Structure 1
């Protein structure tokens, strides 16, 4: 391979040149700690001779599948308090200063229109007031781990 040809194989990752096109050559390793005090070197190893079940849930899809109007969430793990739109759904949440604990309530379009007010009490409690007839409805989402 000629020197000119090697010069043209820049993969645009930090301008690193490689004689073979390799999309990941030159990338930094980014290690994220997923739990306080948990470092990859000290993490407990999974026994590969046993079966491990791993799954994910799309909460919005499950809410739609189960035809729910309101869904209480625990262990949201977001900091602070706020609200956001998730597609056609509205989420209110309350968390602490760290990415631990946290609660939330997910509303569909109809229930979100009835949301009169809400109050983040703590990283374990959020309260919502829905305007309804004949009486307003209060929803309290609480998470306790005992």
Structure 2
């Protein structure tokens, strides 16, 4: 064993060998990759879908926009009601949330007068609401 190999083993450790085992897929048994020690790491997709939640927020100040963004980053849809905040503050919040939604690959839609639906990338929204709102 050369000096280079000893140095590499000291800092990086010995590499484990991984074996990919492909089994025939059935609805009850998903495809998995097994470690040579036969240890399985399988995650059910149903548990991920069931953990989706929607949050209703009515911010009273611009500082609450970060809390809304945190919900979006946690893969929760947020309905934001901006009717109880000044127009300038509401515009700043919508701009901030638009940037957040863009960064996480989500979507933002207006669903009413000063009410917006912000969704992360794991939630799909279909349909639209006609815009019959008259602006002052």
Give TM-score, length-normalised by structure 1: 0.22
Of structures 1 and 2, the one with the larger relative CO (CA 8 A, separation 6+) is 2
Give TM-score, length-normalised by structure 2: 0.23
Return the structure number with greater strand share: 1
Return the structure number with greater helix share: 2
